[in-house]
Amino acid sequence: MWWWNKKSGKIDEYNRTPYREHELQLMLYMAMRHYVFGQSYSRLQGYLLYSRYADERSTWPIPNAPDRLREAFRLRNEIVAREEQFARTGMRDFIAQLTPDQLHRPTGRFLVE
C-alpha cells in the first residue's frame, strides 16, 4: 500500500533532500497504519510529494527506518512525561534549571537531565 504525504513547501535545498521532520512525520503516519490497522510494514511504502516542483525533486520515496521511528517515539514519550510533570508540579523548577548551554546543545533533546 502506498502512503503519500503532500507538502506545499520546498525540500532542504542545501542538502537536496526532504527535511528530516517531513520524513519522520510520514514514518509516524505509516506506524499508525501498522499499529492501529495491522498493516505489515513490508506492504507499506511512503512517498513525500512536494507540489512546488515539477521535476525529479517532486517525489521522494521514504523507506521504513526503525531506528529513526524509535527516536521519534522516544521524543514523543519525553514530551508527554514532561507535560504530565508540569501538570502535577508546575514549570518553575524546570525553568530554574535551564541554562544557555542546554538550550543550544545540538543533540535535539530539549529536556533538562
The pLDDT assigned to 8 comes to 83
Residue 9's closest CA among 45, 56, 57, 47?
57
pTM above 0.85, yes or no: no
How far is the C-alpha of 86 from the C-alpha of 63, rounded, in Å? 36
Tens digit of pLDDT at every position of the chain (113 positions)? 677 788 888 888 888 888 888 888 888 888 888 889 998 888 888 999 888 888 777 888 988 888 888 888 888 898 899 899 999 999 888 888 888 877 766 555 444 44
Residue-wise DSSP of 65-81:
-HHHHHHHHHHHHHHHH
pLDDT of 16 reads 86
